[in-house]
Chain A
């Protein structure tokens, strides 16, 4: 069944209902895009408010209780609603089937269900606002999260439901990759983005249930006083931290692995060069995913866990550093003797390497037990994970969105404004978060509503940087909206890329390819 010319997945059916009931992975991808970008705007607004409150010592705009709500919602929204679904569920959904030459994912109905799980979960989370919100931080540490008297139960329940979205997407992707690859598409001919998504999917399926159980136990503790985490009833509050990080450390890789995959796509495409060390990058994704399950204790060096545990977790964490270093070196080596174009997506990819390298080396510092004792729960940690999550994942998502906009909507975006958004985001990012490393070294603890006068100058700088990032993302949003509404018609393969998604029309037809593609070589055959 092939579509008539001019008919594509966007115009094939119309009306809101056709979207809400669609089984097309591309349409579901676009629905994820709209949800994730909206959540990002909300989470970002909280970030702006946080930095406004921290602009000067003492009270600036709100009281301590409200500030704690801001930081809780910023963290919870950005992790559970933006970064976790951001790459796999949004970009992954759209491009995974296209890039392996499939018509759709293995279970289209489950795919739609996972979007509804995210939306219902998000709605439940926001419902907490009607019960005085939540003020536990996104980590929900017990026993504070048991005692605090507000809508925390709703926020936790929402995160629980959103977990199903993640599990279902992961399951879908694993089966799709195993079963639906085009003829000739062997595992080692898959684009590296697919390897990233595949490793992520494994983590999603194996780790998310643990989060689910932990959150359920927390809800039971809050509503029925079962006494598993509450020390007043003989429970162990530190046990919660073990459970929580057993998921949440691998979750860090749910956030970063597919982002790394995007970077491999961008680097090869905009330097017109085959990737250096394909197998090393592919295996390192699997390696990172495997080791990521055994490092959770590095969040707990000063929690009261045993000294031996601290040392073992420090050692294992060092091991994750190796495959991460391999990837970075391979990307740099790919540039060697390439033909490098400084288009907006490439700028984001290079920005990623820049920021991720800093995030990586500071991660090693934090993995060193004796040094982490000083840095733990200070702004050094805040700076570190923003370098990895924002400097890494968000840069990759933004670059990826620009890169794939012509494919998704069949329109070209405004290159000049897109580059300008990069400049603002990149500079703003460093101005925001670099000073936070210094603040952490000076000893400023995180989650502080107020701080000593000595910390004021750098906090001011940091706030100015944050607002610059905010403006940068407004420009990025403009680029996306402008592209969709007014962009010039895009050719099928504007960047001369080699992966399969570019071999079909822009935007693709409902069934992705009019004739079944057959694969005869690797993904990056730039010769």
Chain B
């Protein structure tokens, strides 16, 4: 089985997702070399000891063995040869790493905001999106990233690109996708309960399509609750169900118009103002049975239109 896996891994994509940037292709070549070098070393060491083990299997209790204490030449050889290989892959890795960390001047900048447990993006012209990053093909993209709560990490396997997103400072990442298509974004720094659900899509489209998208009002022609539904899917679904089941937070089904019990036993009527307060200042009133501090604030992140939209959407959930 291991042989089969190794042989498979030595092939084109070496089990990595297809490389979608030049740098990813370079990483692939280096990785391919490492795989082969590792495979050969394993064959030498493992094959070597298995061969010796059988060849010199114990025949009788009073076997005499050779007394060989050391051999300077051999020992030099097997320290020096690995050293040379290590240095070679170190320098090779350094070269590619420098390219990863050298930001092109003409890159298109996008701001990335990570928050438990969703990704939001903001373009230079103020256009925002959540859960989906749209970028033009064959254009260097620079992401300027920060987090509003804990550590997260932005990872696109197809680009071999990854960078931690740290609260209180900016980190950056760049790539230049070669092909149009849809790619997976993961969060790779543990960030709590729904860490594995903190996913997003990266869509690479043609320049024209991108320019079009950038200039257009994303909510043109949508009803309020449709705007709200989009926001819900991108920002709230990771913690709230649309029915009345508990996820990280309470389900939204049948919430509106109901009486809600808060921590400490106080009761409130769920109306528009309560919903608004819950979204903008979530720690003001904590629902009984839930921890405080878990729900992030959306103040400053959602526009007036989006807040109203999401409230209208919650009202439709029965």
**Interface status of B186 (Cβ within 8 A of chain A):** yes
- Residues of the B chain whose Cβ atoms lie less than 8 Å from the Cβ of A438: 5, 9, 15
- Residues of the B chain whose Cβ atoms lie less than 8 Å from the Cβ of A371: 27, 30-31, 34, 93
- Which of chain B's residues has its CB closest to A305's CB? B164
Q: Is B57 in contact with A342, judged by CB distance below 8 angstroms?
A: yes
Instruction: Give residues 134-150 of A contacting B (CB, 8 Å).
Output: 135-137, 141, 143-144, 147-149
Q: Is A237 in contact with B97, judged by CB distance below 8 angstroms?
A: no
**Interface status of A492 (Cβ within 8 A of chain B):** no
**Interface status of B224 (Cβ within 8 A of chain A):** no
Option from B9, B78, B90, B155 in Cβ contact (under 8 Å) with A315: B90
Least CB distance, B288 to chain A, in whole angstroms: 15
**Interface status of B125 (Cβ within 8 A of chain A):** no
**Interface status of A377 (Cβ within 8 A of chain B):** yes
- Residues of the B chain whose Cβ atoms lie less than 8 Å from the Cβ of A373: 27, 97, 100, 160-162
- Residues of the B chain whose Cβ atoms lie less than 8 Å from the Cβ of A526: 65, 67
Option from B58, B101, B193, B291 in Cβ contact (under 8 Å) with A64: B193
Least CB distance, A147 to chain B, in whole angstroms: 7
Q: How far is the CA of A430 from the CA of B46 in the complex (A)?
A: 14
- Residues of the B chain whose Cβ atoms lie less than 8 Å from the Cβ of A68: 192-193, 195
Q: Interface digits, B127-166 against A, CB 8 Å rule (1 contact, 0 not)?
A: 0000000000000000000000111010101001111101
Q: How far is the CA of A325 from the CA of B293 in the complex (A)?
A: 49
**Interface status of B63 (Cβ within 8 A of chain A):** yes
Q: Interface digits, B189-216 against A, CB 8 Å rule (1 contact, 0 not)?
A: 1111111110000000000000000000
Q: Is A307 in contact with B101, judged by CB distance below 8 angstroms?
A: yes
- The interface on chain A, measured as residues whose beta carbon lies within 8 A of the other chain's beta carbons, has a size of 94
Instruction: Give residues 381-396 of A contacting B (CB, 8 Å).
Output: none
Q: How far is the CA of A441 from the CA of B293 in the complex (A)?
A: 35
- Residues of the A chain whose Cβ atoms lie less than 8 Å from the Cβ of B56: 271, 335-340
Indicate whether A302 sits within 8 Å of B49 (C-beta atoms), given known contacts A321-B82, A373-B160, A448-B196: no
Main secondary structure of the interface of A (DSSP, over half): helix
**Interface status of B302 (Cβ within 8 A of chain A):** no
Q: How far is the CA of A196 from the CA of B163 in the complex (A)?
A: 37
Instruction: Give residues 489-527 of A contacting B (CB, 8 Å).
Output: 496, 526-527
Instruction: Give residues 35-82 of B contacting A (CB, 8 Å).
Output: 37-38, 41-42, 45-46, 48-50, 52-53, 56-59, 61, 63-71, 74-75, 78-79, 82
Instruction: Give residues 87-108 of B contacting A (CB, 8 Å).
Output: 87, 89-90, 92-98, 100-101
Least CB distance, B56 to chain A, in whole angstroms: 5
Between B37, B89, B95, B97, the greatest number of chain A beta carbons within 10 A of the residue's beta carbon is seen for B97
Chain B interface extent, by class: 35 or more
- Residues of the B chain whose Cβ atoms lie less than 8 Å from the Cβ of A277: 69-71, 75
- Residues of the A chain whose Cβ atoms lie less than 8 Å from the Cβ of B187: 445
Least CB distance, A281 to chain B, in whole angstroms: 10
Least CB distance, B284 to chain A, in whole angstroms: 17
- Which of chain A's residues has its CB closest to B165's CB? A304
Q: How far is the CA of A519 from the CA of B229 in the complex (A)?
A: 81
Least CB distance, B35 to chain A, in whole angstroms: 8
Option from B45, B61, B75, B153 in Cβ contact (under 8 Å) with A377: B153
**Interface status of B219 (Cβ within 8 A of chain A):** no
Q: Interface digits, A311-348 against B, CB 8 Å rule (1 contact, 0 not)?
A: 10011001101100110111111011111111000000
Interface segment, one of A101-109, A197-205, A362-370 = A362-370
Q: Which of A's residues lie within 8 Å of B, judged by CB?
A: 64-65, 68, 135-137, 141, 143-144, 147-149, 231-232, 234, 236-238, 271-274, 276-280, 302-304, 307, 310-311, 314-315, 318-319, 321-322, 325-326, 328-333, 335-342, 350, 353-354, 357-358, 361-362, 364-365, 367-374, 376-378, 430-431, 434-435, 438, 441-443, 445-452, 496, 526-527
7 A-B pairs with the lowest CB-CB distances in the bound complex, closest first: A231-B168, A443-B157, A339-B63, A368-B93, A370-B96, A361-B38, A448-B196
- Known A-B contacts: A307-B97, A322-B86, A357-B42. Give 5 more (CB < 8 A): A236-B168, A302-B163, A310-B97, A318-B86, A434-B5
Q: Which of B's residues lie within 8 Å of A, judged by CB?
A: 1-2, 5, 9, 14-17, 26-27, 30-31, 34, 37-38, 41-42, 45-46, 48-50, 52-53, 56-59, 61, 63-71, 74-75, 78-79, 82-83, 86-87, 89-90, 92-98, 100-101, 149-151, 153, 155, 157, 160-164, 166-169, 171, 184, 186-197, 291-294
- Can you list 16 pairs linking A and B with CB atoms under 8 Å apart? A64-B196, A231-B166, A272-B63, A302-B162, A302-B163, A310-B97, A331-B49, A336-B66, A361-B37, A370-B96, A370-B100, A373-B162, A374-B162, A438-B15, A443-B186, A448-B195
